[in-house]
Amino acid sequence: MRKLIYVFIFLFSLVFSLTYLHAGASGSSGSSETTSRLPGTEIQTEQSDIRLKIREVSQSLLGKSGPYLYLNGKKYINDCSGMVRAVFDNIGIDVFSEASQFPSGTNGVEIIYKTYRRQSWQNSSRTPKTGDLIIFNNTYDKNDNGRWDDKYTHVSVVTGVEENGSIVYIHHVSKGIQRYRMNLNKKGIYMEGGVLFNDFLRRRPSSDNDRTKYLSDNMFFAYVDVVGRP
């Protein structure tokens, strides 16, 4: 009987974590299961001081929640693009430097992507470096039309690559700043053999039984190398 109780508790916890997950450009919810778990062995793709500094600053923000971020005396909106802006301001790069050239109402993710579009790529065989960004689409219904046609809805910072090829990234979700994973070689796979490959980035309505399209790999749009910009 005790074993059956433990099994029930485990299954209930797993279903709960798979159902109530979501990420968006300006406030989203994330997996409580991955919040407290450190990533596995990470292969640092480039040991440059500036990229390691980006990783260090991003990790220092883990767990930060609330409407604002405070870093080095500056105040930032605590959403996904606000977190990225805070991290890069800390190393002397203003990722919003061309914001004034965009139409009013353009969100921060689109501004960042289009500012550095020449340094972006969508080829999954090219491994990103520590300090690169990941741009996601469709993490929420930005235009509120019920369709999967929402570009530039989320951004995160790459902090390393695991030995199994999973990209480890840090970003803002509704529960605060957290560490997630994405593995483009494990399409549609959340967990396999006890190993988590792709965190959930969008809430799955109870009416939708197809969970695979809400994973990190399904939301992926492009990588962006801000540091390597000429």
CA angle in degrees (0–180, nearest 5) for 29-35-40: 130
Note the pLDDT of residue 29: 37
Note the pLDDT of residue 26: 42
> What does the CA dihedral 146, 138, 66, 81 come to, rounded to 10 degrees?
-130
Burial of 85 (0-12, 13-18, 19+ CB in 10 A): buried
- Kind and range of the H or E run holding 6: helix 2-19
Note the pLDDT of residue 222: 98
Note the pLDDT of residue 43: 59
Note the pLDDT of residue 46: 57
CA distance 165 to 143: 33
- β-strand 133-136 against 176-182: which pairing, if any? unpaired
Q: Where are the beta strands (DSSP E) in the chain?
A: 42-43, 68-71, 74-77, 120-121, 133-136, 154-162, 167-173, 176-182, 191-192, 195-196, 220-224
Average pLDDT, the chain: 84
Q: Which residues make beta-bridge pairs with 224?
A: 120, 133
Note the pLDDT of residue 44: 56
Phi, psi of 55 (to 5 degrees): -60, -45
- Provide the residue-wise pLDDT of the chain in tens; the chain has 230 residues: 544 444 444 444 443 343 334 444 443 434 433 333 445 555 555 568 999 999 999 999 999 999 999 999 999 999 999 999 999 999 999 999 999 999 999 999 999 999 999 999 999 889 999 999 999 999 999 999 989 999 999 999 999 999 999 999 999 999 999 999 999 999 999 999 999 999 999 988 877 877 788 999 999 999 999 998 64
The amino acid sitting at 88 is: F
Note the pLDDT of residue 48: 86
Note the pLDDT of residue 1: 54
